[in-house]
Amino acid sequence: MFTTTVFALIAALPVALSQTQNDETILGVYMLHRHGDRTAKITAPANLTDLGYRQVYTSGEYYRNRYIVEDSAYRISGISPDVVFQSQLQVSAPIDAVLQNSATGFLQALYPPVGTSANTETLRNGTEVTAPMEGYQLVPIGVAESGSGSEDSTWLQGTSDCARAEISSNEYFSSDEFNEMMSQTEDFYSRLLPVISGEFDETTANFEDAYTIFDFVNFATIHNATISSADLLDKETLFQLRTLADNHEWNLAYNASNPIRAVAGMTLAAQIVQFLETTIEDAGTETGQKLGIQFGAYATFAAFFGLANLHSVNVDFVGVTDYASSMVFEMFTKTSDAVTAENYPSEDDIYVRFLYHNGTATEDSPPTPYPLFGSGQEALSWTDFSNSMNEFALGDTGSWCVACGNITGECAAYNSDQSGSDSDTASDNVESCSNGMSAIFNGVIGALVTLAVILGLEASVMLIFGLRVVSKKTLAQASPGGVEKGF
Ligand SMILES: *[C@@H]1O[C@H](CO)[C@@H](O)[C@H](O)[C@H]1NC(C)=O
Ligand SMILES: *[C@@H]1O[C@H](CO)[C@@H](O)[C@H](O)[C@H]1NC(C)=O
Ligand SMILES: *[C@@H]1O[C@H](CO)[C@@H](O)[C@H](O)[C@H]1NC(C)=O
Ligand SMILES: *[C@@H]1O[C@H](CO)[C@@H](O)[C@H](O)[C@H]1NC(C)=O
Ligand SMILES: *[C@@H]1O[C@H](CO)[C@@H](O)[C@H](O)[C@H]1NC(C)=O
Ligand SMILES: *[C@@H]1O[C@H](CO)[C@@H](O)[C@H](O)[C@H]1NC(C)=O
């Protein structure tokens, strides 16, 4: 039944599409897309809902009509309009059911089934074979490097895999900002207990779980017709819940004086630049890559927004981006002529524009351009764009390992100094990690943060029982990497 409605929709769409011709030609596009509506994180494993499936499918329709159909003014030059040309398209999502399924739902609309005529082949013996489901088209979804299980993880940095980013986010929980919010919102969260007591209790209903609580209530307000004490959820309360979660998540994802916290945005930036660079190198050939699509978590949006200084353009960027949101990087040249391999523009004539849509993009509510890096300009030259991105992009394993202070596994090869030094200097070395002085201790800092708490506890135990003090250094060596998923 779902498919029937969907096909009716597609049939109706091209009519609404007669965009005005412009004097630009799009050469390539990279997109980051959030998943659609899902079940709450606290009731893991999270699943994409039918509503969420609809949202990503609708967004896929929008982008098909913008970038792929033949008569669109924003069509990506040379992209195959109906039958998927695999090498033109690069789609990825982390190993995560919600994000993988969102990517599939989106692709179903981006390249819908082509019917039996376009997707039929004749075998040697003369038999004709048609693709199943009216010419359904298959598109492989690559595995994005980080973010596995992100929709089941209630702690934002838990899937980044980056040691120093985890430590940095953890520092937020001991900051004055955080402690102030904790005490200011104590009453607010305990008043909500009747609504959330199924999943939270007196000890967990507080600002520390701001996002998980918001997420749980948000799911309920969309799907649950029998919320207990629903009268507590007035408009003001819901708004509070959301903005408290916004504040919490923004601070975990980005801190201007602690950039590594936004590592998700740094690796994304590199992926974007690398994709578009390859698109330029492929120079408009039929097999060249043209459209890159990555599905990812809201944290990656937030980290990138912070790094690209978008929150100074519009303060809304500090809020958690809605389900099925998308941000796109349109690479174009200023000509309305068809661009082919023969007349492909030089880098000097190539520009990039950033657009963003909060929630599902549609014809009636299309993405809006915003200036990146505080430039005040909607379009940047390719050189300015790639230079600014490369100021924070982390594009290869070596620089990632160094920036993250990771030294084991695949990072062992990039650890220039295996000998380490005295733990007294550990806190200095976290800040000057890139000099490679004693990267070994950067991985241990996390343990020290946790240990600070443990030591505090021990101190009181020792006061009472008169136990002997174990040195910090011994403890740190005994349990490296202790911080991990603390929340
Ligand atoms: C998600 O689906 C799985 C089965 O695929 C199920 O076990 C789980 O309970 C579902 N989660 C929710 C919150 O419904
Ligand atoms: C033709 O080849 C296909 C695939 O090998 C086979 O399934 C089909 O039965 C063959 N048809 C005839 C008429 O031999
Ligand atoms: C980096 O270090 C963190 C913390 O020790 C660890 O959880 C993570 O798995 C490491 N990642 C890689 C790729 O080595
Ligand atoms: C941001 O980082 C600075 C420097 O590390 C720290 O002093 C401050 O508390 C952090 N703020 C938040 C909200 O994490
Ligand atoms: C709806 O909320 C009630 C009470 O808060 C809870 O007991 C019930 O399990 C929820 N139902 C669903 C489908 O989530
Ligand atoms: C997206 O919308 C939500 C409300 O639905 C808001 O909290 C958030 O700030 C918005 N983000 C942006 C970048 O507009």
Asked if 264 and 248 sit in the same domain, the reply is no
Residue 5 in tokens: 């409605």
Cross-strand partners of 367? none
In a domain, 485, yes or no: no
Give the DSSP letter of residue 88. G
Task: Name the residue type at position 423.
Answer: S
Domain stop point among 372, 390, 408: 390
Domain stop point among 390, 407, 433: 390
State residue 49 phi and psi, 5-degree precision.
Answer: -90, 170
In a domain, 463, yes or no: no
Asked if 188 and 102 sit in the same domain, the reply is no
Check if 230 has its Cβ closer than 6 Å to any atom of ligand 5: no
In a domain, 369, yes or no: yes
Q: Whose CA is nearest to atom 5 of ligand 4?
A: 258
Three-state secondary-structure class, residue 461: helix
Asked if 180 and 305 sit in the same domain, the reply is no
In a domain, 316, yes or no: yes
Instruction: Provide the residue count of the chain.
Output: 487
Matching residue, tokens 């509510």: 365
Closest CA relative to residue 31, chosen from 265, 370, 327: 327
Q: How much is the pLDDT for 145? A: 75
Per-residue pLDDT of the chain (487 residues; tens, 9 = 90+): 333 344 333 333 333 333 445 799 999 999 999 999 999 999 999 999 999 999 999 999 999 999 999 999 999 999 999 999 999 999 999 999 999 999 999 999 999 999 887 888 999 999 999 999 989 999 999 998 777 777 777 666 767 889 999 999 999 999 999 999 999 999 999 999 999 988 999 999 999 999 999 999 999 999 999 998 888 999 999 999 999 999 999 999 999 999 999 999 999 999 999 999 999 999 999 999 999 999 999 999 999 999 999 999 999 999 999 999 999 999 999 988 888 888 999 999 999 999 999 999 999 999 999 999 999 999 999 999 999 999 999 989 899 999 999 999 888 988 876 544 333 333 333 333 333 333 333 333 333 333 333 333 333 333 333 333 333 333 333 322 222 222 2
In a domain, 466, yes or no: no
Closest CA relative to residue 485, chosen from 161, 219, 41, 79: 161
Q: Whose CA is nearest to atom 6 of ligand 6?
A: 319
Asked if 264 and 384 sit in the same domain, the reply is yes
Check if 45 has its Cβ closer than 6 Å to any atom of ligand 1: yes
Q: How much is the pLDDT for 484? A: 24
* Pairing status of strand 142-143 against strand 326-333: unpaired
Asked if 379 and 346 sit in the same domain, the reply is yes
Domain stop point among 390, 417, 434: 390
Asked if 169 and 190 sit in the same domain, the reply is yes
Give the DSSP letter of residue 113. -
Cite the beta strand spans of 69-197 per DSSP E.
Answer: 89-93, 120-122, 128-130, 142-143
**Alpha helices by DSSP H, 19-96:** 50-63
Residue among 122, 123, 124, 129 to mutate when testing ligand 2 (max atoms within 8 A of CB): 123
Domain total of the chain = 3
Asked if 245 and 298 sit in the same domain, the reply is no
**Domain that includes residue 279, residue range:** 26-36+56-115+130-151+259-390
Cite the beta strand spans of 39-110 per DSSP E.
Answer: 89-93
Asked if 358 and 213 sit in the same domain, the reply is no
In a domain, 483, yes or no: no
Asked if 200 and 281 sit in the same domain, the reply is no
In a domain, 424, yes or no: yes
Q: How much is the pLDDT for 414? A: 87
Q: Whose CA is nearest to atom 10 of ligand 5?
A: 224
Asked if 187 and 324 sit in the same domain, the reply is no
Check if 122 has its Cβ closer than 6 Å to any atom of ligand 2: no
Q: CA-CA distances (angstroms) from residue 455 to 367, 372, 451? A: 51, 45, 6
- Compute, in angstroms, the gap from residue 58 CA to the centroid of ligand 3: 37
Assign residue 281 the CATH number of its domain.
3.40.50.1240
Q: How much is the pLDDT for 155? A: 67
Helices 263-282 and 298-307, interaxial angle, to 10°?
Answer: 80
**Alpha helices by DSSP H, 111-162:** 115-118, 132-135
Asked if 264 and 249 sit in the same domain, the reply is no
Check if 224 has its Cβ closer than 6 Å to any atom of ligand 1: no
Asked if 272 and 382 sit in the same domain, the reply is yes
State residue 363 phi and psi, 5-degree precision.
Answer: -55, -40
Q: How much is the pLDDT for 336? A: 83
Check if 20 has its Cβ closer than 6 Å to any atom of ligand 5: no
- Compute, in angstroms, the gap from residue 122 CA to the centroid of ligand 1: 42
Q: How much is the pLDDT for 289? A: 96
State residue 27 phi and psi, 5-degree precision.
Answer: -100, -30
Residue 335 in tokens: 């000509």
pTM (predicted TM-score): 0.83
In a domain, 402, yes or no: yes
Q: How much is the pLDDT for 458? A: 36
Check if 317 has its Cβ closer than 6 Å to any atom of ligand 6: yes
Give the DSSP letter of residue 372. S
Q: How much is the pLDDT for 469? A: 32
